[in-house]
Amino acid sequence: MSDQLPDLGSLLLRRVTGEDGAPYLLLTGNCTLAVLEQRLQALSAELAGYAADPRLHWDLTGIEQMDDAGAVLLWRAWGARRPQHLLLRPEQERLFNRLGKTPPLPAPPARDLLWPVTKLGGAVFLLWEHLIGIVILAGQLLLDMKYLAAHPARIPWREISANLFRTGAQALGITALVGFLIGVVLSYLSSKQLQMFGADIFIINILGMSIIRELGPMLAAILVAGRSGSSMTAQLGVMRVTEELDALTVMGIPHSLRLVLPKVIGLGIAMPLVVLWTSAIALLGGMVVAELQLGLSYHFFLHKLPDAVPLANLWLGLGKGVVCGMIIALIACHFGLRIKSDTESLGAGTTNSVVTAITVVIIIDAIFAVIFSDVGIK
């Protein structure tokens, strides 16, 4: 009848016949999660077996310690009600009283049958919200600039220069590396093709046009969108989480003036410089390979470059840089300010910011290509 159990101190069940002739189940030992952990499944089945007998008297007074998990184990075995005959100590009485009064878990809200429609509609509205939000932020920046024009002493020089350093100077390494490698690859592949036609000399046109007009600005913009855009969004997001944004508001320092404007202007200045740098290094990479593969000397390459590429292309590249830089910063700040104070939203906000910034950069490039289709091309 009794169960010999492995370790001392664990819960022991002993069925005996009491003086009044009724069957008793004596529980002794510890009924805590830490002690029962490995035996829970077996024990739960065993207890359920005992609970099937309504005449059984449960005597829990011999239990040394019982915690919530132990109580729930018994409670479940009894079928969520007390057995007819139950002996308890006062503190156990309290525990089971609490269990009896515990409400069930409310059902999670049922999913609407129309959820695909709601979801799609939600996405459309969200897109609209973002568009409006970015336009409002841009408008606010314009108003801020007007204000700063009237109060030049309030221009946040320090923040602008800090942003210039972080987004410009500190991005030189990575843009140089990527630019150089792209230049090398492009030059290598093109020179192979050109050699077949004996058109070696056109390597200068191909590299010059593609890098200065397209690749340089796009590479720089995409790298900066990933690098600086994410850091701006995360910075503003963490400031929301730590209530720093609220502190600024309460001090009467507008976010747009002190946080957003310096970033937009800083990146607007830094970006064309980074574009120039990336294009130069990419051309350098291309030039090195042209020398090795086709035997075009550096001097010849540099001498021929201005003839092959009209100057307008350089301005076009730099112009893309300015626009992309400001848009990247604007998008990053827009998403950063929308972040709510939980970690989930921080992660999602940063991802959305970078994805949007990169997409928009490419869209801007396409717009430039259409508008300036007959500029700088001979």
Chain contacts with another protein (rule: CB under 8 A): 32-34, 37-38, 40-41, 44, 65-69, 71-73, 75-76, 91-92, 94-95, 98-99, 101-106, 108-109, 340-345
Cβ proximity to another protein, 34 vs 143, nearer residue: 34
Instruction: Please tell me the distance from the alpha carbon of residue 274 to that of residue 206, in angstroms, as a whole number.
Output: 21
Report the DSSP beta bridge partners of residue 85: 57
Cβ proximity to another protein, 67 vs 365, nearer residue: 67
Cβ proximity to another protein, 166 vs 240, nearer residue: 240
Cβ proximity to another protein, 333 vs 346, nearer residue: 346
Q: How far is the CB of 10 from another protein (least distance, A)?
A: 14
Q: How far is the CB of 364 from another protein (least distance, A)?
A: 34
Q: How far is the CB of 127 from another protein (least distance, A)?
A: 24
Q: How far is the CB of 108 from another protein (least distance, A)?
A: 5
Cβ proximity to another protein, 42 vs 127, nearer residue: 42
Q: How far is the CB of 112 from another protein (least distance, A)?
A: 16
The angle, 0 to 180 degrees and rounded to 10, between the axes of the packed helices 261-294 and 172-197 is 40
Instruction: Please tell me the distance from the alpha carbon of residue 283 to that of residue 212, in angstroms, as a whole number.
Output: 8
Q: How far is the CB of 31 from another protein (least distance, A)?
A: 11
Residue 327: its H or E element: helix 311-338
Cβ proximity to another protein, 72 vs 138, nearer residue: 72
Cβ proximity to another protein, 99 vs 172, nearer residue: 99
* 374 burial level (CB within 10 Å; 0-12, 13-18, 19+): exposed
Give yes or no for a contact between 325 and 267, defined as CB atoms under 8 angstroms apart: yes
Instruction: Please tell me the distance from the alpha carbon of residue 95 to that of residue 66, in angstroms, as a whole number.
Output: 9
Cα–Cα nearest to 178, from 231, 228, 217, 223: 223
Q: How far is the CB of 37 from another protein (least distance, A)?
A: 5
Instruction: Please tell me the distance from the alpha carbon of residue 328 to that of residue 331, in angstroms, as a whole number.
Output: 5
Q: Cβ atoms within 10 A of the Cβ of 72, count?
A: 15
Instruction: Please tell me the distance from the alpha carbon of residue 222 to that of residue 175, in angstroms, as a whole number.
Output: 10
Q: Cβ atoms within 10 A of the Cβ of 61, count?
A: 12
